[in-house]
Structure 1
Amino acid sequence: MTKKAEKKTGKKNSQLVLRLDKDDRDAFVQLCNDMDTSAAREIRGFIRGFLKDHQNGD
């Protein structure tokens, strides 16, 4: 499946596992809920922005 086709389906096919302080995680998830978004959506957005800012050798 091409990258474009994968993007169209919206299916995620990988996971990133990380460890962080429970209080930080709980506060982040609660803030996301308060803002009517999900923690996963915000982390994916951060990763996309980070890649965009740094992939061109910047």
Structure 2
Amino acid sequence: MSKKDAKKAGKKDSQLVLRLDKAERDAFVELCKDMDTSAAREIRGFIRRFMKENGGD
């Protein structure tokens, strides 16, 4: 598999829309910045751990 193919295979192609209180969202995003990570990365990590711990595929 070439680098280009590998990059395509790992590409994210779906979105999950959440409704949050603005203050809560802003505090979360700021905390992620302070921890040198992104909100999206942390949410993806949460989903993966949740799936693994709860028998998701």
- Shorter-normalised TM range: 0.7 to 0.9
Matched, 1:55 2:44: no
Stretches of 4+ aligned residues off by more than 3 angstroms: 5-9
TM-score of the pair, normalised by structure 2: 0.80
Taking a change above 3 Å as real, the CA distance of residues 8 and 31 of structure 1, as seen in their structure-2 partners, is same
* Distance in 2 (alpha carbons) for counterparts of 1:52 and 1:23: 30
TM-score of the pair, normalised by structure 1: 0.79
Structure 2: gaps (5+ residues): none
Residue matched to 1:20 = 20
Note the C-alpha offset of 1:9: 3.6
